Structure 1
Amino acid sequence: MPKMIFIERDGTRKEVEAPVGLSVLEIAHRNNIDIEGACEGSLACSTCHVIVADDWFETLEEASEDEEDMLDLAFGLTATSRLGCQIIITEEKDGLTVALPQETRNMLLD
């Protein structure tokens, strides 16, 4: 089974199993990683914002226009920022590494 690595806000690296077909957001929730995902993956918020490791970013599918629009609302946006709900695990993504941003903003509560 593929694995992925989350780098938590305090710098702790957590390697977890990453079942094929699940999103990074779903995997985070299964493993008690502190990613909110307020809209439950419906692409209506940016609370599942993750920062993809540089060496993995180019291997991902391009972000959709809707994802780009939501990312514009994220705190701490970087050149390798993506929404965890939009990254689906495949065998080729074994070892995917993402970091959690220092802050998130839940626009659904504003």
Structure 2
Amino acid sequence: MSVIRVEDADGVVHDLEPVEGWRLMEILRDYGMGMEGCCGGSVTCAACHIVLDPQWADKVPPPRDDELEKLDELPFLHDTSRLSCQIIWSDELDGLRLTLVKEA
């Protein structure tokens, strides 16, 4: 069984069982992690902003230009900020660690 370790905005850690080929946003949404996925992955809302654990940042595919542009519009960023709608789950990501962003 593959796992994603997610720290929510309150600091509680959750181990989620992902589905191959799904966007991280979809997995987080379906587990009730407060991820609405407003734009459905079209990179227009940035509501799925996450922070990857630094040890994992280079193990996921790099962001495309449209994702980088949308991230630049956010009021604050972390070095490993990403949009979860742009990361597709594969078993190579087993053990991935990320933090949900507390916006306010």
Whole-angstrom distance in 2 between the partners of 1:13 and 1:75: 25
Whole-angstrom distance in 2 between the partners of 1:2 and 1:21: 13
Whole-angstrom distance in 2 between the partners of 1:30 and 1:79: 27
Give the equivalent residue in structure 1 for 2:60.
Answer: 60
The question of whether the paired residues in 2 share the 8 Å contact of 1:50 and 1:81 is answered with yes
Q: Tell me the C-alpha RMSD between the 2 structures.
A: 1.2
Cα deviation for residue 101 of structure 1 reads: 1.1
TM-score by length of 1: 0.89
Cα deviation for residue 74 of structure 1 reads: 2.2
Tell me the percent identity. 34
Cα deviation for residue 27 of structure 1 reads: 0.2
Whole-angstrom distance in 1 between the partners of 2:6 and 2:76: 17
Structure 1 runs of 4+ with >3 Å offset? none
Alignment of 1:89-108 (within 5 A): 89-103=89-103
Contiguous gaps of at least 5 residues in structure 2 = none
